[in-house]
Structure 1
């Protein structure tokens, strides 16, 4: 099951970033989390490795996503509607209210059921403007105890059941998510993973070397929180009551979030985006009723050369969540 697309925890002799290489890197990170203990009790060293993964690679499944300078206008764009005077925080609060209305009365899924998602993906390559589109459907075991079928960029992956020692961050199992706080302040602390400005930005291996860096700044910590919030929407999940809304409200508390009023999702629907400075990924909401639509990101193909990533084939990508529901078996649709 995918949760982190690419991490800097690669060994020096790892081959270029094929799908298998990416999966192996994620598996090593997950095994390390298990060895260190529960996600909430990570050692400082491992916790900051995860934090750097979140901020440096954006952790979006299926592509090498780079947290670079935001390519939207950061607050400009079309300003001809009622969105014109709305701040990013205000938009997120409206999106949270919309989420609560839409999710009211949603039944709690059984452990033996599957999360069904239908996602439209549009990728536009920077170099030649070539565009590719995919319609991906996935059936993910609610509690991870059954095999799942996941589709990424048209390719079908048949995932085995989650092992009892396998840890996902953020978790995908409904029962684990149900233990997460829905009070925005407490949820923001969870998304920050307990990191403080007393911690170091780096103390991690990259390739065969050791990188050490400056102390964590508040903007670094908030970047970790934003990346983890995005992660909750990357891998198919059914959110317990109030968690999706609380996520939007938690992100609204992050200083520096920005709004792009001239956004569009993977289905061509008019939207408004919320991003974090220097990150090339963003949430997209409907410009009229504030429904969550999907994600925007920037990525590339990358090879690992002498312990460093060499990026090429850069692209912009839009993901639109078309359908989300719970079914009884793989192949069934809501």
Structure 2
């Protein structure tokens, strides 16, 4: 068992003391301090400082409300998102910076996928060369297969190198970063299915989506920029955080979601590690039965869950290596 993680989760459940407790205790403390000498005052200053540090630690994951989930999911605790995101920025800003990968290196990812209509969890391993010219994976026979990736002008996806170039061009001022990702034509236009009308994505929704996309590709994220992204998330209206959301690997994390611009039958969580704030995965939770027009039976029923997990995202020297 991870004792530090258990202690952190226990702290998150401790509510702040109410005013009915704080006011009389503060009055009693001040009365005692006035009647003592300078030595006592110095000792009390130390106690107050320690108390403030403890209060900050408790407030880091301060619960707001307890939210009952559907019948087959556990209850979750909604946290103070501004406090959590500020602490996430502090933690991530202290990470050790990663070097810019070479074009011939590879981005390796390992993910899990558990669909709501299946009892099995699928594992996916993928290598993509940093310049995007080749990809690799294991075939059904267990052999590693390396394929060339021909240029596709109509594809809006980016190579790892192109993602990284966009990433490192972002400002570390949170408000400027938010403006940059919101106004980036690549994320506004993108690709869309032929014959399907293109819908206009609200700016706040796009900013949240793009920042979470960057956070999920953490192989070469500069620490100061990662910290700025958490500060920028705090500026986006409707961002919520809940404790106790699990990914496809069963890991309990912080479920970040945004109250949407449209009424949808599901809630989509991006899950972060509660200690390191690394991206863990994704969860979609259906809040009500989902029926297509004309159907009498729902495709997905209320309480169904689709989980993914990001187990690894690292830069390696060749396909087949896992870091």
Instruction: Specify the TM-score bucket, using the shorter chain as the normaliser.
Output: 0.5 to 0.7
Q: Return the match for 1:115 from 107, 114, 130.
A: 107
Q: Which residue of 1 aligns with 2:135?
A: 148
The CA distance in 1 between the partners of 2:196 and 2:105, in whole Å, is 44
- On the 8 A contact 2:128/2:136 being kept in 1, the answer is yes
Q: Return the match for 1:88 from 81, 88, 92.
A: 81
- On the 8 A contact 2:79/2:243 being kept in 1, the answer is no
Q: TM-score, normalised by structure 2?
A: 0.57
- On the 8 A contact 2:79/2:242 being kept in 1, the answer is no
Q: Which residue of 2 aligns with 1:131?
A: 119
Aligned length: 231
**What SS does the corresponding residue of 1:76 show, helix, strand or coil?**
strand
Bigger fraction of residues in strand:
1
The CA distance in 2 between the partners of 1:236 and 1:208, in whole Å, is 35
Question: Which structure is richer in relative contact order (CA contacts within 8 A, separation 6 or more)?
Answer: 1
The CA distance in 1 between the partners of 2:83 and 2:147, in whole Å, is 39
Q: Which residue of 1 aligns with 2:318?
A: 329
Q: Return the match for 2:176 from 171, 186, 204.
A: 186
Q: Pick closer, same or farther for the CA change 1:266–1:190 going to 2, 3 Å.
A: same
Q: Pick closer, same or farther for the CA change 1:288–1:175 going to 2, 3 Å.
A: closer
The CA distance in 2 between the partners of 1:161 and 1:211, in whole Å, is 27
Q: Pick closer, same or farther for the CA change 1:84–1:289 going to 2, 3 Å.
A: farther
Q: Pick closer, same or farther for the CA change 1:220–1:246 going to 2, 3 Å.
A: same
The CA distance in 2 between the partners of 1:229 and 1:326, in whole Å, is 20
1:186 Cα deviation (Å)? 1.7
1:277 Cα deviation (Å)? 0.8
The CA distance in 2 between the partners of 1:235 and 1:163, in whole Å, is 22
The CA distance in 2 between the partners of 1:241 and 1:101, in whole Å, is 7
1:184 Cα deviation (Å)? 1.7
Q: Pick closer, same or farther for the CA change 1:277–1:328 going to 2, 3 Å.
A: same
- Higher-Rg member (1/2): 2
- On the 8 A contact 2:67/2:77 being kept in 1, the answer is no
Q: Which residue of 1 aligns with 2:211?
A: 229
The CA distance in 1 between the partners of 2:193 and 2:149, in whole Å, is 30
Q: Return the match for 2:90 from 94, 97, 100.
A: 97
**What SS does the corresponding residue of 2:124 show, helix, strand or coil?**
strand
**What SS does the corresponding residue of 2:220 show, helix, strand or coil?**
coil
Q: Return the match for 2:309 from 295, 316, 320.
A: 320
The CA distance in 2 between the partners of 1:149 and 1:193, in whole Å, is 33
Bigger fraction of residues in helix:
2
Q: TM-score, normalised by structure 1?
A: 0.55
Q: Which residue of 1 aligns with 2:268?
A: 281
Q: Pick closer, same or farther for the CA change 1:96–1:331 going to 2, 3 Å.
A: same
Q: Return the match for 2:224 from 233, 242, 248.
A: 242
- On the 8 A contact 2:104/2:131 being kept in 1, the answer is yes
